[in-house]
Every structure is written in C-alpha cells, then in structure tokens.
Amino acid sequence: MRPEIVMLALAVGACTWAFRALPFRFDLTGLTPEGWLSRLLAATGPAAIAALCAVSVLPLVKGAAPPAPLGAGLGAVIGLWVWRRSVVLATLGGALAYGAVFAL
Amino acid sequence: MGEARAQFAQGMVAGLPVVLGYFPIAFSFGVAASRAGFSAAETTAFSLIVYSGAAQFLAVALVAAGTPLLVAGFTLVAMGVRHLAYGPALMKHAGQGRTRRAWIWAFGLTDEVFGVALGDLARGRRFSEAFMAGLGLAAYLAWVSGSWAGALAGGGALAAYPAVEAGLGFMLPALFLALLLSILSRRQMPVILIAAGVTLGVTLAVSATAGILAGMLAGALTGALRRATA
C-alpha cells in the first residue's frame, strides 16, 4: 500500500468521523443560528456538493456522453428523488436508466 | 441486555434497504478505484477507514489526476462538513445523556443511515443507541464488502458489458446530483448557485481541481457573509 494513500485515508477518515461524532459530545445547537460560524458551517457542505456535482456533470454535457442516456439518467435521478426522497434509490435508478438507454 | 440485542437486530433489519443500495454502489467504487490504479488492499482500506461514498469516489478521481495530497485532503474534508448537521437533528429525538456511545456508532452515520434513522424516529420509534449500531453496522458491512468485491473484479471486469460499464460510470454524477437534491433549500440556493457557477467558470478556464476549490470557497463565503434573514 502506498503510504500517501494510507495517510489521505486516515486524515479524511478521522475528520469524517469527527464531523459525525462531535456534535453528540459538544452540543452545536448552542451556536447562534445566525452567527457567521453557523452560516459558514451550514454553507460549506452544500457548496462542496454543488461544486462536485457541477464538475462531474460538466464532461457529460460537453459531449463526452451520448445525450439520450444522459437525459434518461438525469431524469431518473430527479424523478426518483422527488418520488422516494432516497439518495441511494435515486443514484441506483439513475445509473440503471443510463445503462439501459445506452444499451438500446 | 435482551432489549439492547433486540434493538440491535431491529437496526440491522431496518438497514436492509441501505445494504441493497450500498453494495452495487460500493462495487462500482471498487471497479473505479481499480481502474485508477488503486490496489485491492488500498481500495478496501479506503472503505474501511473513510466510509463516505462521495468522498471516496472523489478521492480516487483526485489521486488519479495527480492532485497534491494537501489539496485533495482539504477538498475531501470540506465535503464531509455536511455531517455536522446530522448529530443535532438526532439529538432532538435522543435527549441528553442517551448518546454516551455515540463516538462508536456515529462512525457509521452516513447520509442514508441518517435518513433511515430519522424516518424511523419520525414514525414513532424510540431512540436507541443499539438500534443505531445495528443499522450502521449493516450498512458498513455492505459498503466494505462491495468495495472489496469491486476491487477484486478489477477495472477491466466489465469490458465485455459496455452498458453495465456505462451505467456504473454514471454512478458518480448520479450520486452527487442526488446528494445535491437532498440538501436543496430556498435558504441555501444562493450558496449552491454561486458554488456551481464559480466551479464551472474556473474549471473551464483553469482546471477541475482549481474549479472545485474556488467553487467551494465562494459558496461557503457566500453563506457566511450573507445577511441574516428572518
């Protein structure tokens, strides 16, 4: 195993665990909801996900992917999310729709 | 003790839908990691230690693109900040003093585990740490075993099945889009729009890595600087 890969996994894993566990130890509900720190923390996650979503979809819409599977995949993700509110179901359904239309 | 065991078992049963969903996504992570040059041991270690699907997929892409370790780490850690919101939401149901072992079971508090737990609590289930542990362990085992299976299958395993390969290749954009939909709110709309816009502009002008960093910073600063609204 490459040491830099193990180091990256340990650093990211420790931070992810801390983000999940620390709110139970230190009650973050005490933070002023409108304080700048609360707003920064609340905005960081959505900003990261929006950035990653944009960068992962960009190569597909720039022409690297055929339009029919892309439309089916994106439509399935949105439709399944609206229907069931499940990230896993929407992800699997989107991939399934993309693969199915690709096969046609 | 018997009550705790029953709650733990109920948690594992409640986790079955997550297990069924996680295994194929984890399998595709294993295949993607293998294709990017990760060994089976590295891939499995990533799932064992990090246990965060979106971060793991991104880590593979960043490492494969030769992104400096510090930049990759910063980007991946920033992605995980969303998990800070899950604890307080569960605490409202749990009450003080009933989360003494949260430092153990919170390791498995992924987006979907949180969603299932919150759904069960909203339907009237009493909060229990044993239930949370069972739910989290079921999902964790599915994730690690799926990653391991995908890594063993290897990057070329699906070459004979182009439609399956295409579907698995769409898994990452689908996952990020689904995650984005799950956090979409009127309040966060300016943050999301600015982060996405800056990311696209900088990616087209410079590189994807610079785009991600610039988009995240612009979005987070937008949230921090925005005037408080009623």
Confidence of residue B24 (pLDDT cuts 50, 70, 90): confident
Q: What percent of chain B has pLDDT over 90?
A: 32
Is it the case that residue B178 has pLDDT exceeding 80? Answer: yes
Q: What percent of chain B has pLDDT over 70?
A: 93
Is it the case that residue B57 has pLDDT exceeding 60? Answer: yes
The Cα of B127 is separated from the nearest Cα of chain A by a number of Å equal to 14
Is it the case that residue B135 has pLDDT exceeding 70? Answer: yes
In a domain, A21, yes or no: no
In a domain, A100, yes or no: yes
Is it the case that residue A94 has pLDDT exceeding 70? Answer: yes
Confidence of residue B165 (pLDDT cuts 50, 70, 90): confident
Whether residue B66 lies within 8 A of chain A, CB to CB, comes out as: no
- Least confident span in A62-76, B13-27, B91-105, B150-164: B91-105
In a domain, A12, yes or no: no
Highest mean predicted confidence (pLDDT) among A33-37, A83-87, B113-117 = A83-87
In a domain, A43, yes or no: no
In a domain, A14, yes or no: no
B103: closest chain A residue by CA: A21
Question: For residues B45 and B40, what is the distance between their CA atoms, to the nearest angstrom?
Answer: 8
Interval B137-146: pLDDT, tens:
999 999 999 9
Is it the case that residue B229 has pLDDT exceeding 60? Answer: no
- Predicted local distance difference test score (pLDDT) of residue B198: 96
- Least confident span in B17-21, B53-57, B143-147: B17-21
Burial of A83 (0-12, 13-18, 19+ CB in 10 A): exposed
Interval B69-102: pLDDT, tens:
888 888 888 878 878 877 777 776 666 557 788 8
Question: For residues A1 and A21, what is the distance between their CA atoms, to the nearest angstrom?
Answer: 28
CB-CB under 8 Å, A77 with B167: no
Question: For residues B61 and B67, what is the distance between their CA atoms, to the nearest angstrom?
Answer: 9
Mutate which of B175, B203, B221, B225 to disrupt the A interface (most A C-beta within 10 Å)?
B175
Whether residue B93 lies within 8 A of chain A, CB to CB, comes out as: no
Average pLDDT for residues B193-220, to the nearest whole number? 88
Is it the case that residue A14 has pLDDT exceeding 70? Answer: yes
Is it the case that residue B25 has pLDDT exceeding 50? Answer: yes
- Predicted local distance difference test score (pLDDT) of residue B230: 38
In a domain, A79, yes or no: yes
Could you tell me which residue, B12 or B171, shows the higher pLDDT? B12
**Number of structural domains in chain A:** 1
Is it the case that residue B210 has pLDDT exceeding 90? Answer: no
* Region label for B39, one of left (φ > 0), alpha (ψ between -120 and 50) or beta (otherwise): beta
- Number of helical H runs and strand E runs in chain A: 4, 0
Average pLDDT for residues B172-199, to the nearest whole number? 87
- Predicted local distance difference test score (pLDDT) of residue B68: 87
Is it the case that residue B30 has pLDDT exceeding 90? Answer: yes
CB-CB under 8 Å, A56 with B173: yes
- Predicted local distance difference test score (pLDDT) of residue A84: 86
CB-CB under 8 Å, B226 with A50: no
Cβ atoms < 10 Å from Cβ of A2:
12
The two three-digit tokens of residue A8, written as one number: 């990256």
What's the complex ipTM?
A: 0.81
- Predicted local distance difference test score (pLDDT) of residue B95: 61
Could you tell me which residue, A92 or B120, shows the higher pLDDT? A92
Residue A87's domain comprises 65-104
**Whole-Å CA distances, A54 to A58, B25, B192:** 6, 20, 10
In a domain, A38, yes or no: no
In a domain, A52, yes or no: no
